[in-house]
């Protein structure tokens, strides 16, 4: 879902999210202080290329998706069960052009059922149904169309242009984006513009920003060592709730303005145990990244600094800082600017049994991740707890709450052959809620099919009961 990121090996700022609410099928996290950073991860496999892959290599003529979000009129597109198909246009080897079509099946069936209510007798009912089918198949509001052009300018430069339109639905805003990516030997440079830009906040609500532009420089991902990220981001126009005309207070970081954000982190990995299961000569693993049983831990520490100019610079005033959430913060009203800085940390444990090579129960994988997104709050809470214990006093719940991490757990189990089942969930800790201090939140269920011939690729069908979303997508080199 939009929350589902295979996070076991990912960087701390790879926060693009999958979502079926738009044709482009991606959204970015609303930037917070310090996490999530709201950075992009550069160009990745577009939705059009994913659908084309399913057509050509997996014999899937139509790709399903589901989203509970509908237009504010209640009858517009963008919600319910839909089917997608792509048409590729032959140009050259370095230029991919496609048309992605989407048909709103759920609304189509609903309209047909309404028509049946006026039938008179069996023969008139059959005739009415045929007439209704023909009539509604011509209804433009049932369709959405996306144009995508991906051009390989040089071996290191790519340019992606896309435009999505929702036929006949005036409440659905056309969406366009342009992304340029350049690969340096040790860095990736990305320049992008979205109009409107789609963002998702920590509550799972989607927001549209009329114009969002960013220039992003990132060091290449590394399994251990130093990495850093620098992003210049500009928002223009008043943000509003996705597919809605209701006026609500938007997340402060989405307000108009310019921000410069830099992040640096250091990562360290350590194997507690790694198995030496011999590989079968007659059969290679279904996924090379899941071919070694092991138990490993990793840790990340880092810091984030943000300089903001414009309405987005006053976001600290909107937020409840009674728990010491904010790190260092400085606001200068005379020039409408602000500066914020904080530390962050992450600890994770991964345990895998099996080499994902045999056909039955040869993979059981568990991953747990603890995020400490506010370093100053954690340090303040840890100091207070230590002082209370040294002085033989009972630490307060507020102090314990400050050191509680954000928890994510994931469990994957092979079913048969390349098929495996996966569940991922967040765990919220609220010590002030005496009746229920620990809650399970944002659970996602997924069925994965490992594409063995591509070494490490998978077709994933996932659903999120809370968000009421379902999607089928293609992923590469993710664990």
Name the band, by pLDDT with cuts 50, 70 and 90, for residue 423: very high
What pLDDT does 215 receive?
A: 95
Name the band, by pLDDT with cuts 50, 70 and 90, for residue 171: low
Percentage of the chain modeled with pLDDT above 70 = 84
Q: Catalogue the long-range contacts made by 86-95 (C-beta closer than 8 Å, 24 or more residues apart).
A: 86/48, 86/51, 86/52, 86/55, 88/48, 88/52, 94/151, 94/152, 95/149, 95/150, 95/151, 95/152
pLDDT single digits (tens) 101-117: 999 999 888 888 777 66
Percentage of the chain modeled with pLDDT above 90 = 52
Residues pairing with 87 in the sheet:
99
- The Cα 341–Cα 319 span in angstroms is 16
Is the pLDDT at 122 greater than 70, yes or no?
A: no
Q: What is the DSSP string of 65-107?
A: EEE----TTSSSSSSEEEEEEEEEEEEETTEEEEEEEEEEHHH
Angle at 420 between CA 355 and CA 348, to 5 degrees: 65
pLDDT single digits (tens) 285-343: 999 889 899 999 999 999 999 999 999 887 544 344 444 445 788 888 888 898 989 99
> Going by C-beta distance under 8 Å and a sequence separation of 6 or more, which residues neighbour residue 430?
401, 437, 438, 439
**Higher per-residue pLDDT: 410 or 70:** 410
Instruction: Name the pTM for this structure.
Output: 0.88
The length of the chain is: 479
- The Cα 423–Cα 129 span in angstroms is 42
What values do phi and psi take at 199, rounded to 5? -125, 155
- The Cα 70–Cα 161 span in angstroms is 26
Please give the mean pLDDT across all residues of the chain: 84
| Helix residue ranges per DSSP H, 345-396 | 375-390
Q: Which two tokens stand for residue 317?
A: 């005033």
């Amino acid at each position: 879902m939009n929350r589902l990121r295979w996070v076991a090996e990912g960087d701390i700022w790879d926060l693009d999210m999958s979502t079926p609410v738009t044709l482009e099928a991606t959204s970015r996290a609303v930037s917070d202080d310090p996490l999530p950073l709201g950075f992009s991860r550069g160009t990745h496999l577009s939705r059009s290329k994913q659908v084309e892959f399913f057509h050509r290599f997996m014999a899937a003529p139509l790709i399903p998706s589901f989203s509970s979000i509908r237009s504010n009129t209640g009858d517009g597109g963008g919600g319910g069960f839909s089917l997608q198909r792509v048409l590729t246009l032959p140009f050259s080897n370095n230029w991919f052009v496609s048309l992605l079509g989407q048909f709103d099946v759920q609304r189509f069936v609903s309209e047909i059922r309404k028509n049946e209510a006026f039938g008179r007798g069996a023969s008139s009912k059959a005739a009415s149904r045929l007439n209704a089918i023909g009539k509604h198949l011509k209804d433009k509001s049932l369709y959405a169309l996306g144009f995508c052009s991906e051009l390989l300018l040089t071996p290191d430069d790519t340019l992606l242009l896309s435009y999505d339109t929702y036929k006949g639905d005036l409440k659905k805003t056309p969406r366009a984006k342009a992304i340029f990516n350049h690969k340096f030997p040790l860095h990736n440079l990305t320049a992008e513009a979205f109009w409107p830009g789609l963002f998702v906040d920590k509550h799972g609500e989607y927001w549209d920003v009329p114009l969002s532009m960013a220039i992003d420089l990132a060091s290449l991902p590394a399994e251990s060592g130093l990495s850093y990220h620098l992003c210049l981001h500009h928002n223009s126009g008043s943000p509003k709730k996705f597919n809605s005309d209701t006026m609500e207070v938007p997340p402060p970081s989405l307000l108009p303005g310019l921000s410069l954000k830099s992040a640096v982190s250091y990562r360290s990995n350590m194997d507690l145990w790694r198995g030496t299961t011999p590989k079968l000569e007659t059969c290679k693993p279904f996924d090379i990244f899941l071919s070694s049983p092991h138990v490993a831990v990793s840790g990340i520490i880092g810091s984030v600094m943000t300089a903001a100019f414009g309405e987005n610079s006053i976001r600290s005033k909107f937020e409840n800082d009674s728990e010491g959430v904010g790190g260092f913060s400085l606001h200068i009203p005379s020039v409408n600017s602000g500066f914020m800085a904080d530390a962050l940390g992450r600890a994770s444990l991964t345990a895998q049994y099996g080499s994902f090579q045999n056909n039955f129960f040869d993979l059981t994988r568990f991953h747990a991740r603890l995020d400490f997104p506010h370093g100053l709050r954690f340090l303040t809470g840890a100091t207070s707890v230590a002082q209370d214990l040294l002085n033989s006093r009972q630490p307060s719940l507020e102090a314990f709450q400050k050191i509680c991490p954000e928890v994510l757990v994931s469990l994957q189990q092979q079913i048969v052959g390349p098929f495996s089942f996966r569940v991922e969930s967040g765990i919220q800790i609220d010590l002030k809620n005496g009746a229920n201090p620990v809650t399970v939140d944002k659970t996602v269920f997924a069925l994965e099919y490992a594409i063995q011939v591509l070494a490490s690729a998978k077709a994933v069908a996932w659903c999120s009961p809370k968000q009421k979303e379902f999607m089928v997508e293609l992923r590469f080199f993710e664990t």
